[in-house]
């Protein structure tokens, strides 16, 4: 079992000094990955779809992870998850390739399609076609990362006679981790993903989702989970037995001291 932490770019970890101390302590203790989420804006007032209050702070993911890359040496840097259909894919491909370069190939690209219509409206992006848009954007970015002469012709993105350097350090581009439990997410996982990320799920729930993803044709992918239950030897063993490869815990938000203590407590399970 591998262990990661999510939230390096949000809440108390938007303070760069705290984020640096947290990242370095996590790497020292053997965590293999640090993850950050993405929301450009939150609805104000908060609505039933939002996972945070409108004043909750969260940094731009590649900005946050580029900073963490500069203060760490080995830990993987994950987006959990980046909302691909909200972005221009040509700009995003450059942004992510740049992050992979400055981190020396440590980027793990977790992606999702988003779920808050008000966020999409604020960005001027159509909400209802976000899944189809995400699929095209993934394919377009892969062309920009891999093809000698990148080109793409689709419903939402078209380009040819261009190039973008440098390419990502990792051959083929950063590994893609698909977030979500919808039928479309599992089809996307089968088509494009090297991993899956499920959030706030019990052992039983993860087991059901693994069966669903296998039925959708996703085989041999890395299973990442932020658990919904407290971790102990018994629960970690239970997640491992059903095929979970990495457990990703959250950062405590009360103070830097509390945050570091939480990292140290979770680290006792790292062997």
**What is the β-pairing status of strands 33-36 and 152-153?**
unpaired
Q: Is the pLDDT of residue 250 over 90?
A: yes
pLDDT at residue 220, rounded to an integer: 95
Q: What would the mean pLDDT of 99-118 be, rounded to a whole number?
A: 98
Computed over every residue of the chain, the mean pLDDT equals 97
* Helix then strand then coil, % of the chain, to nearest 5: 40, 20, 40
Q: What would the mean pLDDT of 250-254 be, rounded to a whole number?
A: 94
Q: Which H helix or E strand runs over 183?
A: helix 183-192
d(CA 26, CA 32): 8
Record the tokens describing residue 3, joined without a space: 């262990």
Q: What would the mean pLDDT of 1-26 be, rounded to a whole number?
A: 98
SS3 221: coil
Residue 180: pLDDT band (50, 70, 90) is very high
Q: What would the mean pLDDT of 115-130 be, rounded to a whole number?
A: 98
Residues 6+ apart with CB under 8 A from 234: none
d(CA 6, CA 37): 8
pLDDT at residue 104, rounded to an integer: 98
- Which domains are seen in the chain, by residue range? 13-174 (3.20.20.30), 193-262+267-271 (no CATH)
Spacing of C-alpha 187 from chain mean position: 18
Q: Is the pLDDT of residue 3 over 90?
A: yes
Q: Is the pLDDT of residue 160 over 90?
A: yes
pLDDT at residue 226, rounded to an integer: 98
DSSP state of 10: B
Residue 195: pLDDT band (50, 70, 90) is very high
Record the pTM: 0.97
Q: Quick one: 21 exposed, middle or buried, by C-beta within 10 A (0-12, 13-18, 19+)? A: middle
DSSP lists the bridge partners of residue 10 as: 58
User: Closest Cα partner for 58 from 76, 75, 82?
Assistant: 82
Q: What would the mean pLDDT of 95-114 be, rounded to a whole number?
A: 98
Q: Is the pLDDT of residue 71 over 90?
A: yes
Torsion from C-alpha of 149, 155, 157, 161, nearest 10 degrees:
30
The tens digit of pLDDT for each residue in 77-97 reads 999 999 999 999 999 999 999
pLDDT at residue 271, rounded to an integer: 84
The tens digit of pLDDT for each residue in 27-51 reads 999 999 999 999 999 999 999 999 9
């Amino acid at each position: 079992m591998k262990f990661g932490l999510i939230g390096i770019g949000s809440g108390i970890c938007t303070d760069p000094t705290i984020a640096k101390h947290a990242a370095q302590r996590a790497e020292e203790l053997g965590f293999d990955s640090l993850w950050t989420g993405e929301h450009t804006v939150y609805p104000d007032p908060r609505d039933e779809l939002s996972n945070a209050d409108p004043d909750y702070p969260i940094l731009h993911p590649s900005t946050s992870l580029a900073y963490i890359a500069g203060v760490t040496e080995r830990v993987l840097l994950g987006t959990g998850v980046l909302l691909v259909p909200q972005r221009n894919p040509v700009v995003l491909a450059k942004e992510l390739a740049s992050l992979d370069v400055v981190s020396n190939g440590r980027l793990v690209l977790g992606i999702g399609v988003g779920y808050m219509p008000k966020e999409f409206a604020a960005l001027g992006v159509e909400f209802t076609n976000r899944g189809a848009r995400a699929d095209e954007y993934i394919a377009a970015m892969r062309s920009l990362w891999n093809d000698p002469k990148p080109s793409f012709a689709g419903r939402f993105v078209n380009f040819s006679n261009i190039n973008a350097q440098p390419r990502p350090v990792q051959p083929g581009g950063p590994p893609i981790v698909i977030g979500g439990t919808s039928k479309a997410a599992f089809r996307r996982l089968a088509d494009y993903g090297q991993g899956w990320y499920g959030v706030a799920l019990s052992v039983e729930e993860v087991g059901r989702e693994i069966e669903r993803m296998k039925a959708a044709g996703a085989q041999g992918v890395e299973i990442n989970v932020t658990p919904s239950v407290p971790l102990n030897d018994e629960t970690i063993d239970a997640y491992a037995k059903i095929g979970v490869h990495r457990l990703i815990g959250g950062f405590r938000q009360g103070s830097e001291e509390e945050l570091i203590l939480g990292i140290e407590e979770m680290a006792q399970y790292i062997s």
